[in-house]
Amino acid sequence: MRDGDWLTETGARLRGVLKVMVDAGWLPGGAAVIGTGGMWEFVAVGRTTGDHDTAPDVSYDVASLTKVMATWPLVGQAVAEGMLDLDTPVSEYLDADEDLPGAGVTARQILTHTSRLNQVTWLERHVGTEQDLAEAILSDPLEEPGYQYIDQGFILLGLVLERLYGTGLERLAADLWEEMGLRSTTFGPLARSPSVAPTERRLAGAAPAWGVVHDEAAALMGGVAGHAGAFTTAIDLGAFAREMLRVHEGGSGPVPKSFVRASWQPHVDAGHRLSRGLGWLVTPEGVVYHNGFTGTSLFMHPRSGRYVGVLTNAVHYGRDRTGLTDLRSAARSALVPQAHDSQA
């Protein structure tokens, strides 16, 4: 199918799925970007608040897309600059006690989610202990060997990056995003306005989280963390995908081509016919992608140069996120029609 026809057909398909979700009251609204090469198309359905329609320039809390839009590329930069080795224990960069259970965990293990760190990201238990957060995470007993999606590893990587560069993760990410031409991507907080989509209303009769991070652990860290906390727009999400695909094809950029290519190769079995690369999930058909809990996703197909990004606040009415699996399946199958349903 020609690129123009593919853009039109995919946009119509995603618009239809989003309309069903909005009309059914499953979410307030959502935006998507569909692109290939120098062409892209945007979809926006529903509202942010009240009478204000959503749009490609509305900011959404991307949740775990922070892992691949901020932490992953910054790790690639640090590797290229010789500041970080993927196979050196992260405890060495954190000056942590080498006798801690997690002292031997490496950045490569974190990126492939084989670190064996505690799966429960409940940072409240460390409040008031005066224990350094990195040491607290490394102090937990390790889980059984194998693949397990874990947020705490990316929290550690964010702390490692801050120690290596001597500045905050939000500043490192801001410089990266500026170099990539992402004009609206940022860590929160953002001012409440119709240009920012609110996330979950946790208490009946109270306001929803709006312009502040939805993830509880990231909120405890001040809204800036290696696993969550970033906000972006459909325009910037498309620009990010376009830049990463360009680098993958040999272009120069802030993230080394070798790191991008290595990241998009299968490294470990993630189950459900999926593999985990460095940070990213990889399908048998060569689609690389990542999801965010709030209802966000980015799918890319390096061989065709096509991508689909989706931004929603699917948690706004609760955490069931009804219809989100269908939306993600539509986005992924648009890149490779025979692809199977993605994991949530």
* Overall average pLDDT of the 33-50 stretch: 96
Same domain, 10 and 128: no
Whole-angstrom distance, CA of residue 91 vs CA of residue 98 = 7
Domain count, the chain: 2
Are residues 154 and 239 both part of a single domain?
no
pLDDT band at 1 (very low <50, low <70, confident <90, very high): confident
- Domain boundary residue, one of 150, 165, 180: 165
Tell whether 324 and 306 lie within a shared domain: yes
Read off the CATH number of the domain in which 56 is found.
3.40.710.10
Tell me which residue range forms the domain holding 249. 3-63+169-335
Closest CA to 307 of 2, 3, 1: 3
Residue 193 and residue 278 share a domain: yes
In a domain, 18, yes or no: yes
Single residue among 149, 165, 181 that ends a domain in this structure: 165
pLDDT band at 341 (very low <50, low <70, confident <90, very high): very low
73 in a structural domain: no
CA triple 134-279-179, angle to 5 deg: 90
Positive or negative, the CA dihedral 218, 209, 296, 119 is positive
Over residues 200-253, the pLDDT tens digits come to 999 989 999 999 999 999 999 999 999 999 999 999 999 999 999 999 999 999
Indicate the residue among 165, 198, 223 that finishes a domain: 165
